[in-house]
Amino acid sequence: MKEAKMYYESDADLNLLNGKTIAILGYGSQGHAHALNLRDSGVRVIVAQREGGANYKKAVEDGWKPVSVAEAVKQADWVHILLPDEVQKKVWDEDVLPNIKKNAILSFSHGFNIRYKRISPNADLDVIMIAPKGPGHLVRSQYEEGKGVPCLIAVEQNASGKAKELALAYAKGIGGTRGGVLETTFTEETETDLFGEQAVLCGGLVELINSGFETLVAAGYQPEIAYFECCHEVKLIVDLIFQGGIGRMNYSISDTAEYGEYVTGKRIITDETRKEMKAVLADIQSGKFADNWIKENETGRPNFKKSREEIANRLIENVGARLRSKMSWAKK
C-alpha cells in the first residue's frame, strides 16, 4: 500500500492569509482554539457567537467582540463554520448564503453537511476542510507549547485554483502543520469519522465497557472492582497504544494479559460483529444515518434524550462518579 503524503511547516505558506478576514462561526471547543491560534499567528479574525451563553462570555473574556453570524459573514473573506452539524443548514440558509462575498472561501472542520448535500455552496466559492484530529482544548494547548495537533485537509470546490494551498495555510495558522497534515476528501473524512465514532470510539467502546462491567457485577463481584477492571484501566491501555501502537501496549502489559488478548479478543469481536460493522458503514455511506439524525432533531430528539438518560442512570456511572470523587490526583 502506498504511503500517504504528509505536509509540514515548509509545505504551507501562512502569507496566503495576509489581508484576509476569517470569520469563525461558533466559539465552542474547536471555535475558540481556531480563533485564538489564528490570531496568535497574525491572522485577522472575527468571531460570530450568539449572545447570552457561556461561549459568548468566554469569547468576551478572551478579548473578542462577538457579532452575529450575518454580520461576521458580511465582513469576512473566509467563513469557517464550526457550528453543530444539525444546525449548519439553517444558519447557512438564513445567515451565510445571503451575506457571503463573491469568490470568498467557505470551510468546515467536518464534512457532514457537504457530504449529505444539506449545504450546496455557490460555484464561485472555494470549499475546503481543515479538521484537527483532536479536541479544541488540545488544539489550543499544543499550539501554545509550540507543538500542533495533526489535521486533515480536503478540497470540495477549487474556484480560485489555490484551494489546497489555502487549506494548508489555515492548517499552519492553527498549528496543524507542526503535527502533520494529511489530505483527504469530504466524503472520506465524513464516512470514516462517523464510522469510527459509532463502531469503535463511542458506540462500540461504551457498550463494551458497560457489558464487561455488568457481566462481573451479575456474577457477584463488587461493582467497585468491576469499575476498575472494565472502565478505569481503559485510559491506561489507550495511553500506551497512543504512545507506541498496539505493540507498545503488549510490551508494557504482563504476558498473561497479552496471552488473554490473543485467545479471547476474537471471541468478543466475532464475524457477526464485523458483519454488523459493515452494516453500520453501509448506513453511513447511503445517508440513512444522516437522515435519521436530522429527523431526530426535527422531532425534538426523543430517542437521543431517552438514551442519554438511560446511560446517566446506569450503575457504572454512579459507581464511577463516587470513586472518581476520591481521586484528587485525577481531577485535572
Is 28 assigned a ligand-binding role in the annotation? Answer: yes
In a shared domain, residues 255 and 117? no
Is 259 assigned a ligand-binding role in the annotation? Answer: no
In a shared domain, residues 217 and 314? yes
pTM, 2 dp: 0.93
In a shared domain, residues 137 and 43? yes
In a shared domain, residues 113 and 238? no
Domain membership of residue 332 (yes or no) is no
Is 94 assigned a ligand-binding role in the annotation? Answer: no
Does pLDDT of 329 surpass 90?
A: no
The CATH number covering residue 152 comes to 3.40.50.720
In a shared domain, residues 120 and 210? no
Domain membership of residue 331 (yes or no) is no
Residue 98 pLDDT grade (very low, low, confident, very high; cuts 50, 70, 90)? very high
Does pLDDT of 108 surpass 70?
A: yes
Domain membership of residue 54 (yes or no) is yes
Is 30 assigned a ligand-binding role in the annotation? Answer: yes
In a shared domain, residues 16 and 164? yes
In a shared domain, residues 165 and 233? no
pLDDT digits (tens, 9 = 90+) for 262-310: 999 999 999 999 999 999 999 999 999 999 999 999 999 999 999 999 9
- 105-108 and 44-48 beta bridge pairing: unpaired
Residue at a domain's end among 184, 207, 222: 184
In a shared domain, residues 145 and 92? yes
In a shared domain, residues 34 and 177? yes
Catalytic residue list contains 32:
no
pLDDT digits (tens, 9 = 90+) for 128-173: 999 999 999 999 999 999 999 999 999 999 999 999 999 999 999 9
pLDDT at 332: 57
Domain with 292 in it: 196-326
Domain membership of residue 225 (yes or no) is yes
In a shared domain, residues 213 and 130? no
pLDDT digits (tens, 9 = 90+) for 193-250: 999 999 999 999 999 999 999 999 999 999 999 999 999 999 999 999 999 999 999 9
- Cα separation of 65 and 199, whole Å? 40
Is 193 assigned a ligand-binding role in the annotation? Answer: yes
Is 157 assigned a ligand-binding role in the annotation? Answer: no
Residue at a domain's end among 156, 184, 212: 184
pLDDT at 3: 82
Q: CB atoms < 10 A from the CB of 135, how many? A: 13
Who's near 159: CB < 8 A, 6+ residues apart?
103, 123, 124, 125, 126
Does pLDDT of 53 surpass 90?
A: no
Does pLDDT of 103 surpass 70?
A: yes
Q: What is the mean pLDDT of residues 107-114?
A: 98
Is 233 assigned a ligand-binding role in the annotation? Answer: yes
Q: Which of 32, 34, 110, 232 is catalytic?
A: 110
Is 197 assigned a ligand-binding role in the annotation? Answer: yes
The region of weakest confidence among 100-104, 251-255, 288-292, 323-327 is 323-327
In a shared domain, residues 226 and 144? no
In a shared domain, residues 313 and 213? yes
Does pLDDT of 116 surpass 80?
A: yes
Q: CA 122 from chain center: how many Å?
A: 26
Residue-level length of the chain: 332
Is 27 assigned a ligand-binding role in the annotation? Answer: yes
Q: What is the mean pLDDT of the chain?
A: 96
Residue 124 pLDDT grade (very low, low, confident, very high; cuts 50, 70, 90)? very high
**Which stretches within 145-232 are classed as H helix?**
163-173, 176-179, 186-195, 203-218, 223-227
Residue at a domain's end among 184, 219, 253: 184
Who's near 232: CB < 8 A, 6+ residues apart?
320, 323
The count of structural domains within the chain is 2
